[in-house]
Amino acid sequence: MRAADSVKALMTGSDPAAGVAGDPGRRQQDLERILAGQTDTAASRRSPALLRRPRLLVPLGGLAAAASAVLVFGLLPGSTAGTAYAATPPPLQYTAVETSLPAGQLLEGIAQHTAALSEPTGEDTVLEWKDWSLFTRIDGETVSSRVVAADHKAVVHADGSGTLTSAFEGEDAKTEAYGPDLYREPMPTDPTLLRESLRRSTPAIDAASGTDQALRGVLRSQALDPAQRAAVLRLIAGLPELRYEGSVTDRAGRSGQAFSADSDGSGLPTRYTFIIEAATGRVLGQEAMLTTRAGKLNVPVPSVISYTVYLDAHKQ
């Protein structure tokens, strides 16, 4: 057990808020206000394409592997670039929302609302998302970093086959076809089973860094139905020291609710933020931001080092 964990365990009995449940009526009012504020605002800011909702799961497989590969930020071979800081994206601006609900309970309320939704299903799935990721090059004493943007569109058929089209900044779009998955299973709707299923590919699933990594794979390869989206929200709700940051306009101009947790699972202290559309339970985006130090990455602190905007997931 780390020293910080020992201190937390020692101080648990002294927590003046331990066991405080709050006013149930106030909690329900808080949740209803947040849900009501999402419905009109989110719809008014989307194009018709973005109004389509995720309707049917499709399997993890080659698409997830191909998509997640472009997101890994790390060290690239030699460069003669200068040592100026990379032009990282500006942090999002959060608006505080008065609520008596802890972050986990607020997400649980959104999950209950999401699970009750009814959506049609279909055959083929279309997924669209945009990534910004930090890449760093080290050449002797010279360190340079830059943010690489990429647009992705996947068309996935019922048997797991499909195509992935990716366009990296400054390059022509490339389309890759992939075959059906050899093994497929529906994504669990029970949060405990979901956690254990994701643990097979992401052992650190209990930390914010692991949850962030696992969901990047899931959301790039599946259009989740309401019950599955509710399970994802409950997975996020279980993160240690989860915080509700407030409402936010995401990088696609949509209204969402931001939830964050910190982790050093990547090797650097990082804040992972999940942007949720309360009316539908959709994850609109994920962000990673260095909080206290940057190691060998040539960026100031704090810095957003990667983020993803999930633009569309629908059936056709």
Identify whether 283 is part of a domain.
Answer: yes
Cβ-contact 28, 127 below 8 angstroms: no
Q: Structural domain tally of the chain?
A: 1
DSSP helix/strand/coil, 166 = strand
Range with lowest mean pLDDT among 3-12, 82-91, 284-293: 3-12
Mean pLDDT of the chain: 76
pLDDT tops 60 at residue 236: yes
pLDDT tens for 24-47 read: 565 566 666 666 655 444 443 333
Identify whether 75 is part of a domain.
Answer: yes
Q: Alpha-carbon distance 106 to 104, whole Å?
A: 5
- DSSP code string of 97-138: ---SS-HHHHHHHHHHHHHT------S-EEEEEEEEEEEEEE
> Kind of pairing, strands 255-263 and 125-139?
unpaired
Confidence (pLDDT) at 222: 84
Q: Alpha-carbon distance 216 to 212, whole Å?
A: 6
Residue 211: which of 187, 244, 238, 229 has the closest Cα? 238
Q: Please give the model's pTM, rounded to 2 decimal places.
A: 0.74
Identify whether 4 is part of a domain.
Answer: no
Better pLDDT: 221 or 109: 109
Identify whether 53 is part of a domain.
Answer: yes
Percentage of residues in the chain with pLDDT exceeding 90?
Answer: 45
CA angle 239-274-233, nearest 5°? 60
Domain residues for 94?
A: 25-315
Identify whether 247 is part of a domain.
Answer: yes
Identify whether 15 is part of a domain.
Answer: no
Enter the tokens of residue 119: 């959506």
Identify whether 16 is part of a domain.
Answer: no
Cβ-contact 279, 17 below 8 angstroms: no
Better pLDDT: 59 or 101: 101
pLDDT tens for 80-136 read: 334 456 677 889 999 999 888 999 999 999 999 999 998 878 888 899 999 988 776
Residue 64 β-bridge partners:
none
Identify whether 20 is part of a domain.
Answer: no
Q: What is the mean pLDDT of residues 245-258?
A: 96
